[in-house]
Structure 1
Amino acid sequence: MNDQTGTLDWNADGVPISLQFEDPYFSLQDGLAETRHVFLGGNDIPARFEPGFHIAELGFGTGLNLLTAWAAWRESGVKGALRFTSFEAYPLDPAQMSTAHQAFPELGSLADELMGALGERGVQTHDLDFTLITGDARVALPAWRSKADAWFLDGFSPAKNPELWEPALMQAVGAHTKLNGTFATYTAAGHVRRALGAAGFEVARVKGFGRKRHMSIGRQRA
Protein backbone atom coordinates (compact mmCIF):
# COMPACT_ATOMS: atom_id res chain seq x y z
CA MET A 1 0.00 0.00 0.00
CA ASN A 2 1.06 3.57 -0.53
CA ASP A 3 2.74 5.37 2.34
CA GLN A 4 0.42 8.22 3.26
CA THR A 5 2.65 9.63 6.02
CA GLY A 6 2.11 13.36 6.27
CA THR A 7 -1.40 13.29 4.81
CA LEU A 8 -3.14 12.77 8.16
CA ASP A 9 -3.66 14.61 11.38
CA TRP A 10 -5.30 13.20 14.51
CA ASN A 11 -7.68 15.02 16.82
CA ALA A 12 -7.70 14.64 20.59
CA ASP A 13 -10.15 11.73 20.36
CA GLY A 14 -8.00 9.76 17.94
CA VAL A 15 -10.07 10.53 14.84
CA PRO A 16 -7.90 10.73 11.69
CA ILE A 17 -8.36 13.88 9.60
CA SER A 18 -7.39 14.00 5.95
CA LEU A 19 -5.15 16.99 5.30
CA GLN A 20 -5.77 16.63 1.57
CA PHE A 21 -9.55 16.88 1.86
CA GLU A 22 -9.79 18.62 5.24
CA ASP A 23 -12.39 16.08 6.34
CA PRO A 24 -12.46 13.36 9.03
CA TYR A 25 -12.36 9.70 8.00
CA PHE A 26 -15.34 8.95 10.24
CA SER A 27 -17.77 10.74 12.53
CA LEU A 28 -16.29 12.96 15.22
CA GLN A 29 -19.08 11.74 17.49
CA ASP A 30 -18.95 7.95 17.12
CA GLY A 31 -17.62 6.42 13.93
CA LEU A 32 -18.85 2.91 14.68
CA ALA A 33 -22.37 4.07 15.52
CA GLU A 34 -22.40 6.17 12.34
CA THR A 35 -21.37 3.19 10.21
CA ARG A 36 -24.07 1.03 11.76
CA HIS A 37 -26.73 3.71 11.26
CA VAL A 38 -25.78 4.86 7.77
CA PHE A 39 -24.33 1.88 5.96
CA LEU A 40 -25.79 -1.14 7.71
CA GLY A 41 -29.16 0.36 8.57
CA GLY A 42 -29.40 2.26 5.30
CA ASN A 43 -28.95 -0.98 3.35
CA ASP A 44 -31.17 -3.08 5.65
CA ILE A 45 -28.19 -5.13 6.76
CA PRO A 46 -27.86 -7.73 8.28
CA ALA A 47 -31.49 -8.67 7.52
CA ARG A 48 -30.66 -9.02 3.80
CA PHE A 49 -27.58 -11.15 4.25
CA GLU A 50 -27.56 -14.41 2.28
CA PRO A 51 -24.80 -16.66 0.94
CA GLY A 52 -22.67 -14.77 -1.57
CA PHE A 53 -23.92 -11.31 -0.51
CA HIS A 54 -21.72 -8.65 -2.10
CA ILE A 55 -21.06 -5.18 -0.69
CA ALA A 56 -19.17 -2.60 -2.75
CA GLU A 57 -17.79 0.66 -1.42
CA LEU A 58 -16.43 3.95 -2.69
CA GLY A 59 -13.78 5.02 -0.21
CA PHE A 60 -12.09 2.34 1.92
CA GLY A 61 -10.44 4.81 4.29
CA THR A 62 -9.52 3.17 7.60
CA GLY A 63 -11.49 0.00 6.87
CA LEU A 64 -14.07 0.75 9.57
CA ASN A 65 -17.02 0.00 7.28
CA LEU A 66 -15.53 -3.34 6.30
CA LEU A 67 -14.88 -4.30 9.92
CA THR A 68 -18.42 -3.34 10.92
CA ALA A 69 -20.00 -5.30 8.06
CA TRP A 70 -17.74 -8.29 8.71
CA ALA A 71 -18.69 -8.32 12.39
CA ALA A 72 -22.36 -8.23 11.43
CA TRP A 73 -21.80 -11.08 8.97
CA ARG A 74 -20.22 -13.25 11.63
CA GLU A 75 -23.00 -12.50 14.08
CA SER A 76 -25.63 -13.35 11.46
CA GLY A 77 -24.41 -16.92 11.10
CA VAL A 78 -24.82 -16.91 7.31
CA LYS A 79 -22.64 -19.59 5.76
CA GLY A 80 -19.73 -18.85 3.49
CA ALA A 81 -17.79 -15.65 2.92
CA LEU A 82 -19.03 -12.08 2.78
CA ARG A 83 -17.92 -10.52 -0.49
CA PHE A 84 -16.70 -6.95 -0.10
CA THR A 85 -15.08 -4.78 -2.79
CA SER A 86 -13.71 -1.34 -2.05
CA PHE A 87 -12.45 1.34 -4.43
CA GLU A 88 -9.81 3.62 -2.90
CA ALA A 89 -7.56 6.16 -4.63
CA TYR A 90 -5.41 6.96 -1.59
CA PRO A 91 -4.92 3.83 0.55
CA LEU A 92 -3.63 4.46 4.03
CA ASP A 93 -0.55 2.86 5.46
CA PRO A 94 -1.46 -0.24 7.54
CA ALA A 95 0.08 1.35 10.63
CA GLN A 96 -2.23 4.34 10.26
CA MET A 97 -5.24 2.08 9.90
CA SER A 98 -4.24 0.17 13.01
CA THR A 99 -3.95 3.41 14.96
CA ALA A 100 -7.42 4.44 13.82
CA HIS A 101 -8.86 1.07 14.85
CA GLN A 102 -7.81 1.68 18.44
CA ALA A 103 -10.82 3.99 18.79
CA PHE A 104 -13.07 0.91 18.48
CA PRO A 105 -11.98 -1.66 21.09
CA GLU A 106 -15.05 -3.84 20.52
CA LEU A 107 -13.72 -4.50 17.01
CA GLY A 108 -10.19 -5.07 18.26
CA SER A 109 -9.83 -8.80 17.63
CA LEU A 110 -11.42 -8.52 14.21
CA ALA A 111 -9.21 -5.53 13.36
CA ASP A 112 -6.13 -7.54 14.34
CA GLU A 113 -7.32 -10.39 12.14
CA LEU A 114 -7.89 -8.02 9.22
CA MET A 115 -4.51 -6.36 9.51
CA GLY A 116 -2.78 -9.71 9.87
CA ALA A 117 -4.28 -10.96 6.61
CA LEU A 118 -4.45 -7.72 4.60
CA GLY A 119 -2.38 -7.73 1.44
CA GLU A 120 -1.99 -5.32 -1.45
CA ARG A 121 -5.21 -6.54 -3.04
CA GLY A 122 -7.34 -7.48 -0.05
CA VAL A 123 -8.10 -10.48 2.13
CA GLN A 124 -9.42 -13.98 1.56
CA THR A 125 -10.47 -15.96 4.66
CA HIS A 126 -13.13 -18.56 5.37
CA ASP A 127 -15.78 -15.86 5.91
CA LEU A 128 -14.43 -12.80 4.08
CA ASP A 129 -13.61 -12.29 0.40
CA PHE A 130 -12.34 -8.72 0.34
CA THR A 131 -10.91 -7.04 -2.76
CA LEU A 132 -9.24 -3.63 -2.60
CA ILE A 133 -9.13 -1.85 -5.96
CA THR A 134 -6.75 1.10 -5.86
CA GLY A 135 -6.66 4.05 -8.19
CA ASP A 136 -9.23 6.44 -9.63
CA ALA A 137 -12.72 4.94 -9.22
CA ARG A 138 -13.87 6.88 -12.28
CA VAL A 139 -11.62 4.55 -14.29
CA ALA A 140 -11.72 1.40 -12.19
CA LEU A 141 -15.45 1.09 -11.52
CA PRO A 142 -16.66 1.17 -15.15
CA ALA A 143 -14.20 -1.65 -15.88
CA TRP A 144 -15.34 -3.75 -12.91
CA ARG A 145 -17.08 -6.97 -13.96
CA SER A 146 -19.25 -7.57 -10.89
CA LYS A 147 -22.47 -6.18 -9.46
CA ALA A 148 -23.16 -5.44 -5.82
CA ASP A 149 -26.14 -6.21 -3.62
CA ALA A 150 -25.40 -3.10 -1.56
CA TRP A 151 -23.24 0.01 -1.93
CA PHE A 152 -21.54 2.03 0.79
CA LEU A 153 -20.95 5.47 -0.77
CA ASP A 154 -18.41 6.90 1.65
CA GLY A 155 -16.12 9.32 -0.11
CA PHE A 156 -15.15 12.55 1.59
CA SER A 157 -17.71 15.38 1.54
CA PRO A 158 -19.05 16.11 -1.96
CA ALA A 159 -18.03 19.74 -1.46
CA LYS A 160 -14.42 18.72 -0.78
CA ASN A 161 -14.08 15.58 -2.92
CA PRO A 162 -16.44 16.23 -5.87
CA GLU A 163 -14.71 13.72 -8.16
CA LEU A 164 -16.10 10.78 -6.18
CA TRP A 165 -19.68 12.04 -6.56
CA GLU A 166 -19.74 12.96 -10.25
CA PRO A 167 -22.88 11.97 -12.22
CA ALA A 168 -20.87 9.64 -14.48
CA LEU A 169 -19.52 7.76 -11.47
CA MET A 170 -22.99 7.50 -9.95
CA GLN A 171 -24.14 6.07 -13.30
CA ALA A 172 -21.41 3.44 -12.96
CA VAL A 173 -22.62 2.65 -9.44
CA GLY A 174 -26.11 2.10 -10.81
CA ALA A 175 -24.85 -0.08 -13.65
CA HIS A 176 -22.95 -2.23 -11.15
CA THR A 177 -25.88 -2.82 -8.80
CA LYS A 178 -28.11 -5.87 -8.93
CA LEU A 179 -31.83 -5.40 -9.51
CA ASN A 180 -33.34 -4.38 -6.15
CA GLY A 181 -29.85 -3.77 -4.84
CA THR A 182 -29.37 -0.77 -2.58
CA PHE A 183 -27.08 2.10 -1.66
CA ALA A 184 -26.64 4.21 1.44
CA THR A 185 -24.62 7.35 2.06
CA TYR A 186 -24.27 9.91 4.80
CA THR A 187 -24.77 12.81 2.37
CA ALA A 188 -28.12 14.27 1.38
CA ALA A 189 -26.69 16.74 -1.15
CA GLY A 190 -29.29 17.41 -3.82
CA HIS A 191 -26.97 16.92 -6.78
CA VAL A 192 -25.88 13.53 -5.45
CA ARG A 193 -29.46 12.37 -4.96
CA ARG A 194 -30.40 13.56 -8.45
CA ALA A 195 -27.42 11.76 -9.99
CA LEU A 196 -28.33 8.52 -8.21
CA GLY A 197 -31.94 8.90 -9.31
CA ALA A 198 -30.75 9.29 -12.91
CA ALA A 199 -28.67 6.12 -12.40
CA GLY A 200 -31.81 4.05 -11.82
CA PHE A 201 -32.28 4.24 -8.06
CA GLU A 202 -35.44 5.10 -6.19
CA VAL A 203 -33.87 7.61 -3.82
CA ALA A 204 -35.11 8.67 -0.40
CA ARG A 205 -33.85 11.21 2.10
CA VAL A 206 -34.04 9.82 5.64
CA LYS A 207 -32.84 10.68 9.14
CA GLY A 208 -29.08 11.07 9.38
CA PHE A 209 -26.68 10.24 12.16
CA GLY A 210 -25.96 12.55 15.06
CA ARG A 211 -25.88 16.19 14.05
CA LYS A 212 -26.55 15.38 10.39
CA ARG A 213 -30.26 15.88 9.83
CA HIS A 214 -30.51 13.76 6.70
CA MET A 215 -28.80 11.01 4.70
CA SER A 216 -29.71 9.22 1.47
CA ILE A 217 -30.70 5.66 0.65
CA GLY A 218 -31.99 4.03 -2.50
CA ARG A 219 -33.03 0.84 -4.30
CA GLN A 220 -32.14 -0.04 -7.89
CA ARG A 221 -35.28 -0.12 -10.02
CA ALA A 222 -33.69 -0.33 -13.49
Structure 2
Amino acid sequence: MTGGEQGQGHDLGGLDWRDGVIPVSRRFDDPYFSLNDGLAETGHVFLAGNNLPARLCPGFQVAELGFGTGLNLLALHLCNPGHPIRFTSFEAFPLDSADIARALDHFPQARAVADPFLTAWAKGERRFEIGSITAEILVGDARATLPQWQGCADAWFLDGFSPAKNPELWSPDLMAEVGRHTAPGGSFATYTAAGHVRRALADAGFAVDRRPGHGRKRHMTVGVLA
Protein backbone atom coordinates (compact mmCIF):
# COMPACT_ATOMS: atom_id res chain seq x y z
CA MET A 1 0.00 0.00 0.00
CA THR A 2 1.22 3.51 -0.63
CA GLY A 3 0.21 7.12 -0.81
CA GLY A 4 -0.97 9.50 -3.45
CA GLU A 5 0.73 12.75 -2.57
CA GLN A 6 3.31 14.39 -4.76
CA GLY A 7 6.84 13.16 -4.24
CA GLN A 8 9.09 10.19 -4.57
CA GLY A 9 12.02 8.36 -3.04
CA HIS A 10 12.24 8.50 0.73
CA ASP A 11 9.81 11.40 1.06
CA LEU A 12 7.69 8.91 3.01
CA GLY A 13 9.33 10.34 6.09
CA GLY A 14 11.11 7.07 6.77
CA LEU A 15 10.16 3.56 7.77
CA ASP A 16 9.67 1.78 11.04
CA TRP A 17 9.93 -2.03 11.14
CA ARG A 18 7.30 -3.77 13.21
CA ASP A 19 8.65 -6.98 14.70
CA GLY A 20 11.70 -6.35 12.51
CA VAL A 21 9.92 -7.55 9.36
CA ILE A 22 6.86 -5.41 8.55
CA PRO A 23 7.60 -1.95 7.10
CA VAL A 24 5.41 0.85 8.42
CA SER A 25 5.27 4.26 6.75
CA ARG A 26 5.97 7.06 9.22
CA ARG A 27 4.24 9.54 6.94
CA PHE A 28 0.97 7.60 6.88
CA ASP A 29 1.43 5.57 10.10
CA ASP A 30 0.26 2.49 8.21
CA PRO A 31 1.92 -0.85 7.36
CA TYR A 32 2.73 -1.76 3.78
CA PHE A 33 0.93 -5.07 4.05
CA SER A 34 -1.37 -6.92 6.42
CA LEU A 35 0.00 -7.84 9.83
CA ASN A 36 -1.99 -11.06 9.34
CA ASP A 37 -0.04 -12.63 6.43
CA GLY A 38 0.16 -10.04 3.66
CA LEU A 39 0.63 -12.60 0.90
CA ALA A 40 -2.52 -14.46 1.94
CA GLU A 41 -4.39 -11.14 2.04
CA THR A 42 -3.23 -10.34 -1.48
CA GLY A 43 -4.56 -13.69 -2.66
CA HIS A 44 -7.89 -13.18 -0.92
CA VAL A 45 -8.45 -9.54 -1.79
CA PHE A 46 -6.80 -8.79 -5.11
CA LEU A 47 -6.55 -12.15 -6.85
CA ALA A 48 -9.78 -13.80 -5.72
CA GLY A 49 -11.55 -10.42 -5.57
CA ASN A 50 -10.87 -9.96 -9.30
CA ASN A 51 -11.50 -13.66 -10.08
CA LEU A 52 -7.87 -14.22 -10.99
CA PRO A 53 -6.17 -16.32 -12.29
CA ALA A 54 -9.30 -17.66 -14.02
CA ARG A 55 -9.65 -14.48 -16.10
CA LEU A 56 -5.99 -14.14 -17.07
CA CYS A 57 -5.32 -14.46 -20.80
CA PRO A 58 -2.76 -13.11 -23.27
CA GLY A 59 -2.86 -9.32 -23.29
CA PHE A 60 -4.68 -9.02 -19.96
CA GLN A 61 -3.95 -5.70 -18.23
CA VAL A 62 -3.75 -5.31 -14.46
CA ALA A 63 -3.42 -1.83 -12.93
CA GLU A 64 -2.74 -0.87 -9.35
CA LEU A 65 -2.86 2.14 -7.09
CA GLY A 66 -0.02 1.72 -4.59
CA PHE A 67 2.97 -0.42 -5.58
CA GLY A 68 4.64 -0.49 -2.16
CA THR A 69 6.91 -3.51 -1.84
CA GLY A 70 5.73 -5.12 -5.08
CA LEU A 71 4.09 -7.97 -3.17
CA ASN A 72 0.93 -7.84 -5.29
CA LEU A 73 2.97 -8.04 -8.49
CA LEU A 74 4.83 -11.08 -7.20
CA ALA A 75 1.57 -12.74 -6.14
CA LEU A 76 0.21 -12.12 -9.63
CA HIS A 77 3.35 -13.65 -11.11
CA LEU A 78 2.98 -16.72 -8.89
CA CYS A 79 -0.62 -17.29 -9.98
CA ASN A 80 -0.13 -16.54 -13.69
CA PRO A 81 0.07 -19.79 -15.71
CA GLY A 82 2.40 -18.12 -18.23
CA HIS A 83 0.18 -15.73 -20.17
CA PRO A 84 1.90 -12.62 -21.48
CA ILE A 85 0.13 -9.92 -19.46
CA ARG A 86 0.77 -6.31 -18.47
CA PHE A 87 0.95 -4.76 -15.03
CA THR A 88 0.98 -1.00 -14.40
CA SER A 89 1.24 0.48 -10.92
CA PHE A 90 1.02 4.09 -9.77
CA GLU A 91 3.39 4.92 -6.91
CA ALA A 92 4.22 8.27 -5.34
CA PHE A 93 6.96 7.18 -2.95
CA PRO A 94 9.04 4.26 -4.30
CA LEU A 95 11.01 2.34 -1.71
CA ASP A 96 14.63 1.45 -2.35
CA SER A 97 15.56 -2.09 -3.30
CA ALA A 98 17.18 -2.91 0.05
CA ASP A 99 14.00 -2.05 1.98
CA ILE A 100 11.88 -3.98 -0.51
CA ALA A 101 14.13 -7.04 -0.24
CA ARG A 102 14.02 -6.87 3.56
CA ALA A 103 10.22 -6.71 3.51
CA LEU A 104 9.92 -9.58 1.03
CA ASP A 105 12.13 -11.78 3.19
CA HIS A 106 8.99 -12.17 5.33
CA PHE A 107 7.39 -14.06 2.41
CA PRO A 108 9.77 -16.80 1.20
CA GLN A 109 7.48 -17.85 -1.67
CA ALA A 110 7.39 -14.32 -3.08
CA ARG A 111 11.06 -13.63 -2.31
CA ALA A 112 12.07 -16.76 -4.24
CA VAL A 113 10.82 -15.24 -7.52
CA ALA A 114 11.68 -11.60 -6.81
CA ASP A 115 15.26 -11.38 -8.09
CA PRO A 116 14.46 -10.12 -11.63
CA PHE A 117 12.33 -7.36 -10.11
CA LEU A 118 14.85 -6.45 -7.40
CA THR A 119 17.76 -6.40 -9.86
CA ALA A 120 15.90 -4.08 -12.22
CA TRP A 121 14.70 -1.91 -9.34
CA ALA A 122 18.20 -1.47 -7.94
CA LYS A 123 19.29 -0.18 -11.37
CA GLY A 124 16.53 2.42 -11.31
CA GLU A 125 14.48 0.61 -13.94
CA ARG A 126 10.75 1.13 -13.56
CA ARG A 127 9.79 -0.99 -16.56
CA PHE A 128 10.93 -4.62 -16.47
CA GLU A 129 9.93 -8.21 -17.12
CA ILE A 130 9.12 -10.75 -14.45
CA GLY A 131 8.22 -14.10 -15.92
CA SER A 132 5.73 -13.40 -18.69
CA ILE A 133 4.55 -10.15 -17.07
CA THR A 134 5.64 -6.78 -18.43
CA ALA A 135 5.56 -4.45 -15.44
CA GLU A 136 5.73 -0.67 -15.42
CA ILE A 137 5.66 1.52 -12.31
CA LEU A 138 4.66 5.11 -12.96
CA VAL A 139 6.24 7.30 -10.29
CA GLY A 140 4.39 10.41 -9.15
CA ASP A 141 1.09 11.58 -7.76
CA ALA A 142 -1.61 9.30 -9.17
CA ARG A 143 -3.94 12.29 -9.41
CA ALA A 144 -1.58 13.59 -12.11
CA THR A 145 -0.25 10.38 -13.66
CA LEU A 146 -3.44 8.31 -13.97
CA PRO A 147 -5.37 10.86 -16.07
CA GLN A 148 -2.42 10.87 -18.52
CA TRP A 149 -2.18 7.08 -18.73
CA GLN A 150 -3.15 5.67 -22.12
CA GLY A 151 -3.94 2.19 -20.82
CA CYS A 152 -7.21 0.50 -19.89
CA ALA A 153 -7.23 -2.12 -17.15
CA ASP A 154 -9.12 -5.40 -17.07
CA ALA A 155 -8.57 -5.58 -13.30
CA TRP A 156 -7.58 -3.03 -10.67
CA PHE A 157 -5.79 -3.56 -7.36
CA LEU A 158 -6.76 -0.56 -5.20
CA ASP A 159 -4.11 -0.80 -2.49
CA GLY A 160 -3.26 2.63 -1.16
CA PHE A 161 -2.76 3.31 2.52
CA SER A 162 -6.03 3.38 4.45
CA PRO A 163 -8.60 6.00 3.35
CA ALA A 164 -8.54 7.55 6.82
CA LYS A 165 -4.79 8.19 6.58
CA ASN A 166 -4.33 8.71 2.83
CA PRO A 167 -7.62 10.20 1.57
CA GLU A 168 -5.99 11.62 -1.57
CA LEU A 169 -5.72 8.17 -3.12
CA TRP A 170 -9.44 7.44 -2.59
CA SER A 171 -11.01 10.70 -3.74
CA PRO A 172 -14.12 10.67 -5.95
CA ASP A 173 -12.11 12.30 -8.76
CA LEU A 174 -9.45 9.59 -8.67
CA MET A 175 -12.03 6.80 -8.46
CA ALA A 176 -13.69 8.35 -11.51
CA GLU A 177 -10.33 8.09 -13.31
CA VAL A 178 -10.16 4.42 -12.31
CA GLY A 179 -13.54 3.94 -13.95
CA ARG A 180 -12.47 5.80 -17.08
CA HIS A 181 -9.39 3.57 -17.33
CA THR A 182 -11.25 0.28 -16.99
CA ALA A 183 -12.18 -1.96 -19.92
CA PRO A 184 -15.84 -2.92 -20.41
CA GLY A 185 -16.59 -5.68 -17.93
CA GLY A 186 -13.39 -4.89 -16.05
CA SER A 187 -13.17 -5.20 -12.28
CA PHE A 188 -11.60 -3.79 -9.15
CA ALA A 189 -10.91 -5.16 -5.69
CA THR A 190 -9.80 -3.44 -2.51
CA TYR A 191 -9.33 -4.32 1.14
CA THR A 192 -11.33 -1.28 2.31
CA ALA A 193 -15.09 -1.21 2.84
CA ALA A 194 -15.28 2.51 3.66
CA GLY A 195 -18.68 3.83 2.62
CA HIS A 196 -17.38 6.92 0.83
CA VAL A 197 -15.02 4.76 -1.25
CA ARG A 198 -17.84 2.40 -2.24
CA ARG A 199 -20.02 5.36 -3.21
CA ALA A 200 -17.25 6.95 -5.27
CA LEU A 201 -16.67 3.69 -7.17
CA ALA A 202 -20.40 3.28 -7.77
CA ASP A 203 -20.50 6.84 -9.12
CA ALA A 204 -17.55 5.88 -11.36
CA GLY A 205 -19.73 3.25 -13.04
CA PHE A 206 -19.01 0.08 -11.08
CA ALA A 207 -21.56 -2.36 -9.73
CA VAL A 208 -20.13 -2.50 -6.21
CA ASP A 209 -20.36 -5.43 -3.81
CA ARG A 210 -19.16 -5.94 -0.25
CA ARG A 211 -17.58 -9.28 0.61
CA PRO A 212 -15.96 -10.89 3.67
CA GLY A 213 -12.50 -9.48 4.27
CA HIS A 214 -9.29 -11.25 5.12
CA GLY A 215 -8.25 -12.12 8.64
CA ARG A 216 -9.65 -9.69 11.17
CA LYS A 217 -11.17 -7.41 8.54
CA ARG A 218 -14.90 -8.01 8.38
CA HIS A 219 -15.44 -6.67 4.88
CA MET A 220 -13.72 -5.78 1.60
CA THR A 221 -15.08 -4.32 -1.63
CA VAL A 222 -15.18 -5.57 -5.22
CA GLY A 223 -16.91 -4.37 -8.34
CA VAL A 224 -17.42 -4.79 -12.06
CA LEU A 225 -17.80 -1.96 -14.54
CA ALA A 226 -21.48 -1.87 -15.34
Q: TM-score range by the shorter chain?
A: over 0.9
Asked whether the equivalents of residues 4 and 93 of structure 1 are also in contact (C-alpha less than 8 Å), the reply is no
Cα drift, residue 188 of structure 1: 0.3
Counterpart AA for 2:176: Q
Counterpart AA for 2:15: L
In the alignment, is residue 210 of structure 1 matched against residue 223 of structure 2?
no
SS in 1 for 2:94: coil
Cα drift, residue 7 of structure 1: 1.0
Return 5+ residue gaps in structure 1 as ranges.
none
Superposed, 1:20-169 pairs within 5 Å as 20-73=27-80, 76-78=81-83, 81-118=84-121, 119-124=124-129, 127-169=132-174
CA–CA distance in structure 2, aligned partners of residues 206 and 186 of structure 1: 10
With CA pairs under 8 Å and 6+ residues apart, which has the higher RCO, 1 or 2? Answer: 2
TM-score scaled by structure 2?
0.92
Equivalent of 2:24 in 1, 12, 17: 17
SS in 2 for 1:116: helix
CA–CA distance in structure 2, aligned partners of residues 38 and 176 of structure 1: 20
Partner of 2:225: 220
Taking only the aligned residue pairs, the percentage that are identical comes to: 57
SS in 2 for 1:159: coil
Counterpart AA for 2:67: F
Q: What does the per-residue CA deviation read over 1:158-210, in whole Å, with 9 as the maximum and x for residues that have no partner?
A: 00000000000000000000000000000000000000000000000000000
SS in 2 for 1:158: coil
CA–CA distance in structure 1, aligned partners of residues 21 and 42 of structure 2: 17
Superposed, 1:1-16 pairs within 5 Å as 2-3=9-10, 7-12=14-19, 14-16=21-23
CA–CA distance in structure 1, aligned partners of residues 164 and 131 of structure 2: 39
Counterpart AA for 2:185: N
Q: What does the per-residue CA deviation read over 1:60-119, in whole Å, with 9 as the maximum and x for residues that have no partner?
A: 00000000001111xx243xx220000000110111001000000112221122212334
Equivalences, count: 217
Counterpart AA for 2:56: F
TM-score scaled by structure 1?
0.94
Cα RMSD of the aligned pairs, angstroms, is 1.4
Return 5+ residue gaps in structure 2 as ranges.
1-7
Asked whether the equivalents of residues 63 and 87 of structure 2 are also in contact (C-alpha less than 8 Å), the reply is yes
Superposed, 1:181-192 pairs within 5 Å as 181-192=186-197
Equivalent of 1:201 in 203, 206, 209: 206
Asked whether the equivalents of residues 13 and 27 of structure 2 are also in contact (C-alpha less than 8 Å), the reply is no
Cα drift, residue 124 of structure 1: 2.9
Cα drift, residue 10 of structure 1: 0.5
Cα drift, residue 128 of structure 1: 1.7
Asked whether the equivalents of residues 22 and 31 of structure 2 are also in contact (C-alpha less than 8 Å), the reply is yes
Partner of 2:184: 179
